Structure 1
Amino acid sequence: MNFALTDEQRMLGDTLARFIAEQYGFATRQRIACSPDGFDRTMWRRFGELGAIGALFAPEHGGFGGTGDDIAVVFEHLGRGLVVEPFLGALVAGRALSLAGTAEQRAWLARVIDGEAVAAFAHGEPDSRYALARVATTATRIGESWRLNGTKAVVLCAEAADGYVVSARTRAAVDAEHGISLFWLPRDAPGLTLRGYPLIDGGRGAELFLRDVTLPASALIGPKDEGFETLERALGCGVLALSAEALGAMETAFAATLEYLRTRRQFGVPIGSFQALQHRMADLAIDLEQTRSAVINAAAALDAPRAARERALSAAKHTVGHIGARLSREAVQLHGGIGMTWELPLAHYAKRLVMIDHQLGDEDHHLARYIAFGRVSNQATEATEATETTPSTQPR
């Protein structure tokens, strides 16, 4: 990414790029993605040793980064290599624990940063689609314990996870922001069952069924009923991560297409010499720069006030959804029939870009959020201006 990175961030990016190029080639990636766990625990520990997981968290929480730029650098390189290790779940669950967790709960985060444990984030439900506050899973206080009932959908790396950050409603209204609480759920909790399956773009996911799952009072993350802010901020990091991952995948797909046009010959000349194809590639290059700018803006706004933060994140996610789908179609078409084959990495990049659009809100969802938070910003600005222009009533 072309923004003012620190020396440490550049070194991390270079290290990740070399490691993925040398140790995580396409054949290795395919073997890992189709494995029973959907990722490689040894590789996960090696990423921890490289500092790639620790870069996602602030020093006070056991990491050495945690800024928007750190997240963007790591996930851009993960996107270039189509890495399937559980970085997204580690980031979102770990951010929730670091924002509101107790010291005991944050001890899990230290294990995740070292690559010794896997944490997953279980929020989406069969009927929730992308609505952040639509939580039907319930948590009822029974004496000194909590009893959870509900279903969580498409939880990444759930079968191999050691624990989950789970959202549940502790107050009645299903769509209200107030009344959502977060809990730390161990993998071996009685009453928890899973149904796992392979994902279309590699790796594995699962449905979580919670049937009278009993947790101690210490499982609550943060104050009761006040989990929405933590949930929104943690998932905001996930939106940034997916946007940066998409950027990395788009850069790789674009470079592969450009190389193909330079080497594929027809009528005795490289097909890249045809003006019509040059125009299509020029349009994609402009789109790629627009995507890069949106991700940089989102990374810079990660710690901004809510309206500005969410607006920048939604702008980036909408951009990668819209442009990622277009770049995927163009790259496949410019390759011709070979672009659809399983053996060509490009087809897997195109598939991953399409699926990223459907994670944590598609382009239409984030366009609506961008508009909504734009109205909030405009109303706040108008209120401020009205206050500043109101004549003083104090005596002179």
Structure 2
Amino acid sequence: MTDLAEIEMIRDSARAFVPPGGDLVRIRGLRFGEAGFDPAIYRQMAEMGWLMLRLPEEEGGLGLGMRAYCALAAVLGAGLVPEPLIHANLAVRLLGAGVGDAVLAGTRIVLPAWQAGFDGLDLAAGVTGAAGGLSGEKRFVYQAAGADAFLVTGAEGGWLVEAGAEGVSLECEGTQDGGHFGSLRLAGVSAERIDLIDPAAALDEAALATSAYLLGVAETAFEMTLDYLRVRKQFDKPIGSFQSLQHRATDLKMQLALLRAGVDMAAGALDAGVDDARRSALVSQVKVRAADTAMLVAREAVQMHGAIGFTDEHDVGLFVRKAMTLANQFGSAAFHRRRFAAMQPYAAA
């Protein structure tokens, strides 16, 4: 369990990577680059211990709880930080003590290649580790071009595959936010099989951290919109004085408060050690709300900003694009609704 002082320390350390005043010069400069993020900044994050957050102390990690992890993710989301910290943490979580010092130090970037289809949380599909070597395809590998190696998952476990190994090819497609997803194709790749540690829990934790990141994105987009409502005038009055816009802003504030409460409740429950079914039900509830709220705030932010909200030059558009990119990561709202509905008695809780 993480106490409040530790959580605030995590937030303070994260704010060092989120410039005050909403300066997004670094973020704009990294968009549509080859890696999509800055490896030097990634190493600094590793030096802060952020890749050890969920690794138990007995395995050389910090052993902090999900509340600390979510607090970190929310601050990074508020600054649109593009470094693939959540995905790298998923790889560390799955590998456990065998992850290696270079990975934890950030000098070797290992990203998980776990997803074969568009939606869901299935680690097993897409590849096989037959006698002829590892073959198949994994898709939607976040910021894949910046990886030194991939943790490829399958029904038999996992394999650590070097990015430049024989039989490995990578095709990347750009995303709205200026990053990319990679399709990793494997043709008879020689790799040693690795046992993965509690994959279902690891994926749920990544989904919850992504929900917290989306919370940070949405809260900042909302604050930017409120600022605009205060300064933009029509008929010699700030448009924020118009009752219809006040009602819409109030609804957004309420939805954000519900999302923040949901993230905190779910993180606290995971830290308390709830059973697997309850954990998954809580994560699905929060991920649905995070995706829906982030997209609602994004749409309203664009509309309330008027024509300028549609332009790439205005910063609010960057938050809209980030919400669009991340809303479906680690399971879309539709997937998590189906998963939650299938969980009895938790669906009625």
Q: Same fold (TM over 0.5)?
A: yes
- Equivalent of 2:297, from 327, 339, 347? 327
What is the total number of aligned residue pairs between the two structures? 347
Residue 118 of structure 1: how far off its partner (Å): 0.9
Greater CA drift, 157-166 or 330-339 = 157-166
Secondary structure, aligned partner of 1:82: coil
Aligned to 2:333: 363
- Equivalent of 1:193, from 152, 169, 172? 169
Alignment of 1:220-231 (within 5 A): 220-222=193-195, 230-231=198-199
After superposition, what is the alpha-carbon deviation per residue over 1:57-95, rounded to whole angstroms, capped at 9, x for unaligned?
Answer: 332333324411121011101100101112122111111
1:266–1:29 Cα change, 3 Å: same
- Equivalent of 1:183, from 156, 159, 165? 159
Please tell me whether the aligned partners of residues 51 and 92 of structure 2 are also in contact (alpha carbons under 8 angstroms): no
Aligned to 1:310: 280
After superposition, what is the alpha-carbon deviation per residue over 1:287-337, rounded to whole angstroms, capped at 9, x for unaligned?
Answer: 001111111122123242111100010001000111111111111101101
Aligned to 2:69: 71
CA RMSD of aligned residues (A): 2.4
Aligned to 1:157: 143
Aligned to 1:173: none
How far apart, CA to CA, are the structure 1 residues paired with 2:28 and 2:21? Answer: 13
2:1 matches 1:31: no
Please tell me whether the aligned partners of residues 35 and 144 of structure 2 are also in contact (alpha carbons under 8 angstroms): no
Alignment of 1:110-149 (within 5 A): 110-125=101-116, 127=117, 129-130=119-120, 132=122, 135-140=125-130, 142=131, 147-149=133-135
Aligned to 2:208: 240
Secondary structure, aligned partner of 2:30: helix
2:333 matches 1:347: no
Residue 47 of structure 1: how far off its partner (Å): 1.7
Letter in 1 for 2:194: I
* Long gaps (5+) in structure 1: 171-180, 382-396
Residue 129 of structure 1: how far off its partner (Å): 3.1
Aligned to 1:387: none
1:63–1:25 Cα change, 3 Å: farther
Residue 195 of structure 1: how far off its partner (Å): 1.3
Please tell me whether the aligned partners of residues 148 and 210 of structure 1 are also in contact (alpha carbons under 8 angstroms): yes
Percent pairwise identity: 31
1:202–1:157 Cα change, 3 Å: same
> TM-score scaled to structure 1, two decimals?
0.82
> TM-score scaled to structure 2, two decimals?
0.92
Q: Which has the higher contact order (CA 8 A, sep 6+)?
A: 2
After superposition, what is the alpha-carbon deviation per residue over 1:188-223, rounded to whole angstroms, capped at 9, x for unaligned?
Answer: 3321111123222122321111001122xxx3222x
1:54–1:167 Cα change, 3 Å: closer
